[in-house]
């Protein structure tokens, strides 16, 4: 999302590092990794559903300085 004129990551689903995980960022750019223990196909489905259903909550928490 755009914050202070800059694009910042809020949530990212990733399969780098040989495992599926979700990266959650706060407004200061700190990251918390959550291991999902899923295969790639299930992780993609989860990512699409999760972001569609919870984007407003993630944005709200991010703007308050919390991790989504």
Q: How do residues 23-65 score in pLDDT, each as one tens digit?
A: 999 999 999 999 999 999 999 999 999 999 999 999 999 999 9
In a domain, 26, yes or no: yes
Answer whether residue 2 is part of any domain.
Answer: no
Tell me how many domains the chain contains.
Answer: 1
Domain holding 40, by residue range, is 11-64
Residue 9, pLDDT score: 95
Query: Is the pLDDT reported for residue 4 higher than 90?
Result: no
Q: What is the pLDDT of residue 21?
A: 97
Q: How far apart are CA 40 and CA 5, in angstroms?
A: 33
- Whether 56 is covered by a domain: the verdict is yes
Would residue 40 count as lying in a domain?
yes
d(CA 65, CA 43): 26
Q: What is the pTM of this model?
A: 0.86
5 belongs to a structural domain: no
Within a domain: residue 4?
Answer: no
Does 3 fall in a domain?
no
Instruction: Note the pLDDT of residue 62.
Output: 95
User: Exposed/middle/buried for 37, CB within 10 Å: 0-12, 13-18, 19+?
Assistant: exposed
């Amino acid at each position: 999302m755009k914050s202070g004129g800059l694009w910042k990551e809020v949530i990212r689903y990733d399969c780098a590092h040989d495992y599926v995980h979700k990266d959650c960022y706060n407004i200061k750019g700190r990251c918390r990794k959550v291991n999902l223990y899923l295969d790639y196909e299930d992780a993609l489905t989860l990512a699409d559903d999760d972001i569609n259903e919870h984007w407003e909550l993630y944005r709200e928490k991010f703007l308050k300085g919390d991790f989504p």
